[in-house]
Amino acid sequence: MPYRKGRVNEMKHLAVGQSILHYISVTTIVLLSLVVSPVNGVELLGYWAFEETDFGADAVDSSGNDINGTYEGEANPDAEGAPGFGSGLELDGFDSSVWLGPGDENGLGDLTSDFSVMAWIKPDQFGSKNRVLGSVPWEANSGWGWGTVRDELEITTWGVKDYDQPVPLELEEWAHVAIVLDEDFEAFFYHNGEEVGSVAHPSEGGPTINDFYIGVACCPGQENFSGFLDEVAVFEGTLTAEQVNNAMTLGVLNYEGGGPTNPFDFDGDGSLGEGDINILSAAIATGSADLKYDVNSDNLVSVADLNDFVTNPSNLNTWIGDSNLDNEFNSSDLVAVFTTGKYEVAADATWGEGDWNADQRFNSGDLVAAFTDGGYEQGARAAAVAVVPEPSSLGLLLSALAMVALSTRRRR
């Protein structure tokens, strides 16, 4: 009987456990559905911030959908950007653009209605159409493009409708503009966060497999953007006026509200990490004077800002050399960076690839910077540490450099 009684208790505990697991599972599913469901059916499809500073780099899509672009012609991604948003893209109005690929592959060609576009723009001419983004070439009922015509905003569904709206645009002045084309084919226009008008039409445009570009649409050589662009974005769904305003003031990634709580969250993802380090390092390497990168508040942008960003307890609070950002600098970090094959090679390197002194290369200077910081095999960084390296760290550095030199001589 005691055995049977214990058995009953075990079954009761099992039943209770299963009930708890079921509750947790259901709760988890509900919470996940709340997290992944886009607000009012809106989802960010593509977002280009033009923070690369290098023509040879990709125009990175920061939406997470990998619609990365290729700079073409005289496109300059290291130009003046919208106030508070880093660098921007300069286009010459002739052959400069950013190629985004075929519309049937990147999803832009599937948009025929119920989508939204926006950008910061600074046009330098109103003589011809300034296309911000769209498909090439023009085909009736196949594709779309948007930008300005004279000093008006325009979105066109090729062969179907030119939606034009007068707005108070000025030459050589930054303005935030957005167009929302809803599911009933009515276009709503925004200028600096304010709705300025709408235009209706009874039918939608057609899908396209043609290539999409930033800086040109429809007809290359005739409808190219001339001036500066920044924070170009495309959304599936119709943005509300509040969401347009949020994107303008807080950044595209914060269109739902909120915004980064740390001024050094340069990539706007809500946390500090390697993406922010790489943006900061690029700014330092290219001699940026933008004081948003002045992490240590000395009114300069220099490698001292990188050191402060990485080591300061208010920021990452880790060691120079912590390539994987696990809060320690140890042999795993060295293995990781040497495995990339970029040591003493003329190739751009990121923080995770060994660039620890913001010169966008991995070389002996980075090893000196890391071992001078004194964190090798010291565990997690405390709130305050000595800046003078321990003798053991210096010995390890000298040994590492000697091994590298010996390896180099042997290869020769």
pLDDT in tens, 296-346: 888 899 999 999 999 988 799 999 999 999 999 999 999 999 999 999 999
Domain range for residue 388?
Answer: 274-411
The answer to whether residues 199 and 61 belong to one domain is yes
Lowest mean pLDDT among 128-142, 167-181, 267-281: 267-281
Contacts of 29 by beta carbon, 8 Å cutoff, 6+ apart: none
Three-state DSSP class for residue 22: helix
Cα 372 vs. chain centroid, distance in angstroms? 32
For the chain, the first-to-last Cα distance in angstroms comes to 83
Write the CATH number for 240.
2.60.120.200
Task: State the DSSP string of 67-117.
Answer: --EEEETT-EEEEE-STTS-EEEEEESSS-EEEEEEHHHHSGGG-SSSEEE
Give the model's pLDDT for residue 29: 37
Residue 262, domain member (yes or no)? no
* Residues 263, 248: Cα–Cα separation, whole Å: 17
Helices H / strands E in the chain, number of each: 8, 16
Q: CB–CB of 93/125 below 8 Å? A: yes
The sheet with strand 97-102 has its strands ordered as 58-59, 69-72, 97-102, 211-214, 130-136, 144-149, 152-157, 161-166
The answer to whether residues 102 and 225 belong to one domain is yes
Percent of the chain with pLDDT over 70: 82
Residue 265, domain member (yes or no)? no
Lowest mean pLDDT among 137-141, 290-294, 342-346, 370-374: 290-294
The answer to whether residues 111 and 191 belong to one domain is yes
What are the tens digits of pLDDT across the range 82-116? 988 888 999 999 999 999 999 999 999 999 999 99
Could you tell me the pTM of the whole model?
Answer: 0.61
The answer to whether residues 55 and 130 belong to one domain is yes
Neighbours of 206 (CB within 10 A): 17
Pairing outcome for strands 97-102 and 130-136:
unpaired
Cα angle 170-226-146, degrees, rounded to a multiple of 5: 80
What are the tens digits of pLDDT across the range 170-219? 999 999 999 999 999 999 999 999 999 999 999 999 999 999 999 999 99
Confidence of residue 142 (pLDDT cuts 50, 70, 90): very high
Per the structure, the count of domains in the chain is: 3
Residue 260, domain member (yes or no)? no
Confidence of residue 77 (pLDDT cuts 50, 70, 90): very high
Give the model's pLDDT for residue 21: 37
What are the beta bridge partners of residue 121? 175, 229
The answer to whether residues 142 and 193 belong to one domain is yes
Residue 268, domain member (yes or no)? no
What is the DSSP code (8-state) at residue 347?
Answer: S
Residue 263, domain member (yes or no)? no
Give the model's pLDDT for residue 381: 87
The answer to whether residues 193 and 167 belong to one domain is yes
Please give the mean pLDDT across all residues of the chain: 85
Residue 389, domain member (yes or no)? yes
Residue 259, domain member (yes or no)? no
The answer to whether residues 229 and 295 belong to one domain is no
The answer to whether residues 23 and 77 belong to one domain is no
Phi-psi region of 64 (alpha: psi -120 to 50; beta: other; left: phi over 0): left
- H/E element holding 273? none
* Residues 37, 56: Cα–Cα separation, whole Å: 36
Indicate whether 65 pLDDT > 50: yes
* Residues 149, 87: Cα–Cα separation, whole Å: 25
